[in-house]
Amino acid sequence: MPVQAARSNPFATEHLAKIRYQFEGDSLTGLVERFASLNQRAALVGPEGHGKTTLQRELAAHYEARGVTVHWIRLTRDCPVLPRTAIAELRRLLTPDDLLCIDGAEQMNWWTWRKLMRSLPAQTACLITTHQPGLLPTLKQCQTTPELLDRLVKELLRAEYPDWNVPTADLFARHRGDLRQCLFELYDAYAAGELHELHAS
């Protein structure tokens, strides 16, 4: 099969970034109300690829649309450490009306976490993503389902391949519900010209 151009790949990052969080059994309004009840300091909890960051972006956009200034800290396995000046810079920038979003809070050691929390103004909101509960009260335990993956794949294929049926249940099981890895595999399959074979098998 011919190799497909990356720019036309329906699973390219630019297309994935446009996917909105899929609410199942709850709503944006409900989560905002629960966040308020938790004094606007809470965690989105779950394994990798289970929608935590997507939901965090959705909630941040909600507050930005209402005039709240949102500050971001993003930590990953490749970049797990805060810059030395980060906490001092946040202390200078943050106000009680702001929202601090920390994506990948589990990367911080306990000492850094405590120092960061103590540096926040008392009323500053904080929304984090983390793999395990315990750093802040849990706002939502994020989970995925095979049906969710199937909907996302159909949404991404709708423009070019509206009638294709990709074996999403097998993908979901193989990657243990990690939707990010499922979509990476589909990206590679399309790039190698193998997506048609997946559809036909």
Annotate 63-114 with three-state secondary structure: HHCCCCCEEEEECCCCCCCCCCCHHHHHHHHCCCCCEEEEECHHHCCHHHHH
Question: At residue 15, does pLDDT exceed 80?
Answer: yes
> Residue 1's pLDDT is what?
43
Q: What is the largest CA-CA distance in the chain?
A: 59
Backbone angles phi, psi at 157, to 5 degrees: -90, -10
Ordered structural domains, the chain, with CATH = 28-141 (3.40.50.300), 144-200 (no CATH)
Tokens encoding 155: 């949404």
Summarised one tens digit per residue, pLDDT across range 80-92 is 888 889 999 999 9
pTM of the model: 0.90
Question: At residue 105, does pLDDT exceed 80?
Answer: yes
- % of the chain surpassing 90 pLDDT: 72
Summarised one tens digit per residue, pLDDT across range 30-72 is 999 999 999 999 999 999 999 999 999 999 999 999 999 999 9
Q: Rg (Cα) of the chain, in Å, rounded?
A: 19
- Which ranges in the chain belong to alpha helices (H)? 13-16, 28-37, 52-64, 86-93, 110-119, 146-157, 168-174, 179-191, 195-200
Say if CB 144 and CB 119 are below 8 A apart: no
Question: At residue 185, does pLDDT exceed 50?
Answer: yes
Question: At residue 24, does pLDDT exceed 70?
Answer: yes
Backbone angles phi, psi at 128, to 5 degrees: -120, 160
Average pLDDT over residues 19-30: 90
